[in-house]
Amino acid sequence: MKDGIPGDLLETGVWRGGASIFMKAALVVYGGRDRTIWVADSFEGLPKPDVEKYPKDKGDMHWTFDNLRVSMEEVRGNFERYGLLDDNIKFIKGWFSDTMPSAPIEKLALLRADGDMYGSTMDVLEPMYPKLSSGGFLIIDDYALEGCRAAVHDYRNRHGIAENIVDIDGIGAFWRKS
């Protein structure tokens, strides 16, 4: 906020909403209450791999993990529990392949991608990275996972992205768009 990077904040793959709730709390404390936080998820877990479109997802079993299925109502309730659900929280429900290309997002200051798989990561990067403002941050939650990391590197190579990837915790990573 102090750098004045234009745009909203988007989290794709929100699980129980913790990171999005933290984003909203930071905006309340540090300013930027006019920014929208987009909360995008299937709210049904992860999709079964489409190995015809994304062969690198072959054998990925994330779609079978029941603990990744958290309803939108539960996530909304978590925002409410902290008094942070307001008109600037917008939910996008559905698979990223269906929702991200037509999402009504114009510009982003922060994109937090938590897709676990190659396809889910690519389905976010393709339509959303071009909307990330110069100086904006891209956080890849599951960079340590083989499929996710492969999608990141394939996307970066295809688009000539050379910013340094910074490790967060041995699992996630980020870079700042120049």
Q: Measure the CA–CA gap between 111 and 124, rounded to whole angstroms.
A: 9
User: Got the DSSP string for 4-52?
Assistant: ---SEEEEE--TTSHHHHHHHHHHHHHS-TTS-EEEEE-SS-PPPP-TT
Predicted local confidence at residue 143, as pLDDT: 98
Contact 155, 125 (CB under 8 A): yes
* pLDDT tens, residue order, the chain (178 aa): 567 899 999 999 999 999 999 999 999 998 877 899 999 999 999 999 999 999 999 999 989 998 889 999 999 999 999 999 999 999 999 999 999 999 999 999 999 999 999 999 999 999 999 999 999 999 999 999 999 999 999 999 999 999 999 999 999 999 999 9
- Strands 89-93 and 132-140: what pairing? unpaired
List the structure tokens of 153: 């590197």
Name the one residue in this structure whose structure tokens are 């779609």: 63
Helix (H) / strand (E) containing 138: strand 132-140
Helix (H) / strand (E) containing 134: strand 132-140
What CATH homologous superfamily does 8-176 map to? Vaccinia Virus protein VP39 (3.40.50.150)
- Strands 173-176 and 132-140: what pairing? antiparallel
